[in-house]
Amino acid sequence: MSSEHDHPQPGGAIYEPEAPIGEQLVVVAQELSDLYRSERAKAAELEQAYDQLQDTYQAAIRTLAFVVEAKDNGTRQHLDRTQIYGLELAAEIDPRLVRDPEVGVGFLLHDIGKVGVPESILTKPGPLTDDEWEIMRGHPLAGVRIVEPMQFLGEAVQIIRCHHERYDGSGYPEGMAGTGIPLAARIFAVVDSFDAMTSDRPYRKALTTEHALEEILRGEGTQFDPEVVRVFCDLVARTPWVAEGRYTDRAPD
Ligand SMILES: [Fe+2]
Ligand SMILES: [Fe+2]
């Protein structure tokens, strides 16, 4: 003769009415503990996979950036310095910018479009002809086209697109003006020019820090955002290795 106890009960032994409540709780606690351990193990695996993905992503971005170096010696140091110093300046102006990893990526990749510019133009020791300038001025949009399929780059694309725009609207590629230019690009324009001026280039020797700062100040309100220039000059004055002209000696990691 069958009884209700012949049928399997939901949840197995823990629902046996005969089992004392204390024992049932011990079983539940054991099951929860097992579940917690297995979830922790899964979370640790996911965390490890995420870290590996991040490392791979960073390495891929740096490789992409340094492709330009193969064509234009000295670019790697320029990229590393402008990324480090750009982030220091951005932190002074708006700390929210440096919380966004895309901004640092944009600084590193700003000239990626130069891979499409012939070496004869990139390393030309004299002034460029009009036609050569035309090609050179195409590098921001060429860069955008290269990185556009990487949808996770977000703000970085705007830095690549706008790093040669000028505050008075006379820059390229679009002639944006004032605060219409993304803030990260306005910040980067100052650091990029400062680094270019204080480095030897095929067509001229490096300027002194003092001379480069004079040039930056001369561009206040025309080439550069006056507020960014003010904070930059302040930062340089507080950073002895820059103020003393050792800017380009600093070995980036
Ligand atoms: Fe550029
Ligand atoms: Fe640059």
Measure 42 CA to ligand 1 centroid, in angstroms.
44
How high is the mean pLDDT in each 10-residue block of the chain (253 residues)? Answer: 49 59 83 90 92 85 80 77 92 94 92 91 90 96 90 88 98 97 97 91 83 96 98 89 60 42
CB 124 within 8 A of CB 202: yes
Which residues keep their CB under 5 angstroms from ion ligand 2? 111, 192
Domain match, 62 and 107 both: no
Domain match, 93 and 204 both: yes
For residue 7, being part of any structural domain is answered with no
In the chain, how many domains are there? Answer: 2
- Up-side HSE of residue 247: CA atoms within 13 Å toward CB? 29
For residue 4, being part of any structural domain is answered with no
92's CB contacts (< 8 A; 6+ apart) are 231, 234, 235
Note the pLDDT of residue 65. 84
Domain match, 144 and 45 both: no
For residue 168, being part of any structural domain is answered with yes
Alpha helices in the chain (DSSP H): 21-66, 75-93, 95-99, 101-108, 119-122, 130-136, 139-147, 155-162, 183-197, 209-218, 226-237, 240-243
Note the pLDDT of residue 47. 92
Domain match, 91 and 141 both: yes
Measure 137 CA to ligand 2 centroid, in angstroms.
13
Domain match, 106 and 158 both: yes
For residue 234, being part of any structural domain is answered with yes
Domain match, 33 and 140 both: no
Q: What is the pTM of this model?
A: 0.78
Domain match, 94 and 176 both: yes
Measure 17 CA to ligand 1 centroid, in angstroms.
76
- Up-side HSE of residue 64: CA atoms within 13 Å toward CB? 20
Measure 37 CA to ligand 1 centroid, in angstroms.
52
Which domain, by its residues, includes 56? 16-66
CA angle, 163 then 160 then 73, to 5°:
85
For residue 221, being part of any structural domain is answered with yes
Note the pLDDT of residue 60. 84
Please tell me the number of the ligand nearest to residue 79's CA. 2
229's CB contacts (< 8 A; 6+ apart) are 190, 216, 217, 219, 220
CB 177 within 8 A of CB 185: no
Domain match, 170 and 211 both: yes
Residue 15 is classified by DSSP as G
Note the pLDDT of residue 63. 85
Domain match, 50 and 86 both: no
Domain match, 175 and 80 both: yes
Tokens of 194: 């400062």
Which residues keep their CB under 5 angstroms from ion ligand 1? 111
* Distance of alpha carbon 86 from alpha carbon 152, whole angstroms: 21
* Distance of alpha carbon 25 from alpha carbon 104, whole angstroms: 53
Note the pLDDT of residue 176. 98
For residue 189, being part of any structural domain is answered with yes
Residue 68 is classified by DSSP as G
Measure 111 CA to ligand 2 centroid, in angstroms.
6
Domain match, 51 and 94 both: no
* Distance of alpha carbon 192 from alpha carbon 31, whole angstroms: 59
Measure 43 CA to ligand 2 centroid, in angstroms.
41
Note the pLDDT of residue 125. 86
Please tell me the number of the ligand nearest to residue 85's CA. 2
Please tell me the number of the ligand nearest to residue 76's CA. 2
Domain match, 223 and 168 both: yes
Measure 235 CA to ligand 1 centroid, in angstroms.
23
Dihedral class, residue 144 (left if φ above 0, else alpha if ψ from -120 to 50, else beta)? alpha
Query: What CATH number does the domain containing 81 carry?
Result: 1.10.3210.10
Measure 251 CA to ligand 2 centroid, in angstroms.
17
> If you search the block for the tokens 């219409």, which residue do you land on?
180
Note the pLDDT of residue 26. 84
Measure 33 CA to ligand 2 centroid, in angstroms.
55
Measure 139 CA to ligand 1 centroid, in angstroms.
7
